[in-house]
Chain A
Amino acid sequence: MCIAIPGKVKSIVNENTATIDMGGICRDVNMDLMGGANESQIGRHFLVHVGYAIAEISEEESEETMHLLRQIAGLEEIDTPESESI
């Protein structure tokens, strides 16, 4: 289950948190499940689920998945923010 959004680490906020660009929207994401946040993660891609990075993925995979999500978002006019939460 569960929608996870790919994104690229732009900067490190603190030892737990990184700022991740997910399709043009930057969010602070918790990196605890990746062993914490550190500078070496900048530029790398991760799957993000409910505010936490859950897996590292390749740039190619990140772009493919984001393309699919954009396609879905563009076609689905009644989606609400709350229904994207889980």
Chain B
Amino acid sequence: MENGNLPSKPAVPELEKKLLGRIKGSKKPLRIMHVCGTHERTIAKYGLRSILPKNIEVISGPGCPVCVTPEEDINIAIALAKSGATVVTFGDMMRVPGSAESLLDAKSEGANVKMVYSIDDAIALAEKKPELEVVFFGIGFETTVPANAAALLRKTPENFSLLTSQKQTPPAVEFLARDADVDAFIAPGHVATIIGTKPFESLAEKGFPIAVSGFEPGDILLGINLLQMQAEEGISRVDNGYPRAVKPEGNQIALKIMNEVFETSDSEWRGIGKIENSGLVLRKEFEEKDAAKKYEDLYASALEDVRKKTGGKDKKRCICAAILTGKAKPSQCPNFGKECTPKNPAGPCMVSQEGMCYNWFRYSREGGNRVA
């Protein structure tokens, strides 16, 4: 077992014990969805599901940016790399399968693909090697996007461009709330660090209690308890359970920078489909930095090759789509832990530390070790 090094009797600090006692004191059943991969990591890591009462169910929504990047966007990145561009991105993104292969597969076939820690590393590479056409494959939510915007507001070299697959969280949560079997939401703490709590208010107005949470076990338990208290009172609002990092108005500087460079668009979410106003694309003033436009002709034939390999259809490797929308658990997937493992992921949810399948595989087949 990969969890063999876990302490046999992990301590449950006093605050967590008190919160747990309050949670157990509520009789109101609640099905809660979180939309943050790092929340899933904390929940699985500390076995929180195993200590919650039976009337509280916590499910994972589409909170892992790697998991929701559509196959076609990965296909385009691969096509660009195979066309001669140097495609750079975060490590997790390199391992996520597109329609036929991953960027890492393409690299092993000779395509120029590199891993970076930050968009600034990609820009530094473009500056250092002017003979390369460096394309940064920018994925992620509002936590990551402002960094991309800030980088583009500085002078970037001509041989640098951005291939965007960026997404906004609140529209996705609202989309899921329309038909998901969910009573309340835990909102992502670091996304809220940027956007604040206000963007979640319209969802609360539709009757869903919401609590912004931090990332320690006590933060998650606090979030659950805040949602319980709202549900018991029959109200719905946005509670800020992470005030030490989240201000109601968010990070105004980051928002200004983000809005200066990017504008809202519709966006495709892997396993979910198109969600209106959930994407962020470059504004017209920055289109010379848009790799999809800059290299449109260059990658067209390579992209056609990728599409031919798959016959234009997505491979049905796993049930990540159902998992991302809270309709299935990882252990219900026939490939989970067999053909799909962290070392050999068949689907995106098994790739990243933020993926639900990764965390379920890593810590427990039922989503978390017992800690109390």
Contacts and interface: CB of A to CB of B under 8 A. Distances in A.
A2 B150 contact: no
Contacts of A22: none
A47 interface: yes
Given A49-B190, A61-B245, A75-B6, A2 B143 contact: yes
B193 A34 contact: no
A64 B92 CA distance: 27
Interface in B187-235: 188, 190-191, 193-194, 215-216
Contacts of B254: 33, 54
A12 interface: no
B150 A33 contact: yes
Interface stretch (B112-120, B275-283, B325-333): B112-120
A51 B353 CA distance: 18
A50 B144 contact: yes
A1 B143 contact: yes
A50 to B, nearest CB: 5
A35 B253 CA distance: 7
Most buried by A among B35, B38, B154, B190: B190
Contacts of B2: 78
Interface string A46-71: 01011110110110010011001000
Contacts of A57: 244-245
A54 B149 CA distance: 13
A47 B245 contact: yes
B36 interface: yes
Nearest to A49: B143
Interface in B136-151: 139-141, 143-144, 146-147, 150-151
Nearest to B34: A1
A40 interface: no
Interface residues of A, number: 35
A33 to B, nearest CB: 4
Contacts of A84: 91, 353
Interface string A72-86: 100101111111111
Given A30-B147, A33-B146, A86-B66, A51 B117 contact: yes
B353 A83 contact: yes
A79 B194 contact: no
B58 to A, nearest CB: 16
A75 B5 contact: yes
A86 B94 contact: no
A1 B36 contact: yes
Contacts of B190: 1-2, 4, 47, 49, 54
Q: Please name the 9 residue pairs, one residue from A and one from B, whose CB atoms are nearest each other, closest first.
A: A82-B91, A51-B118, A32-B150, A2-B143, A85-B90, A52-B147, A33-B254, A85-B91, A55-B193
23 contacts: A1-B36, A1-B64, A1-B169, A1-B191, A1-B354, A2-B141, A4-B190, A32-B153, A33-B257, A47-B245, A50-B140, A52-B146, A54-B146, A54-B190, A54-B251, A55-B246, A57-B245, A61-B245, A77-B5, A78-B2, A85-B90, A85-B115, A86-B144
Given A1-B65, A49-B190, A75-B6, 4 more contacts: A2-B188, A30-B118, A55-B246, A55-B251
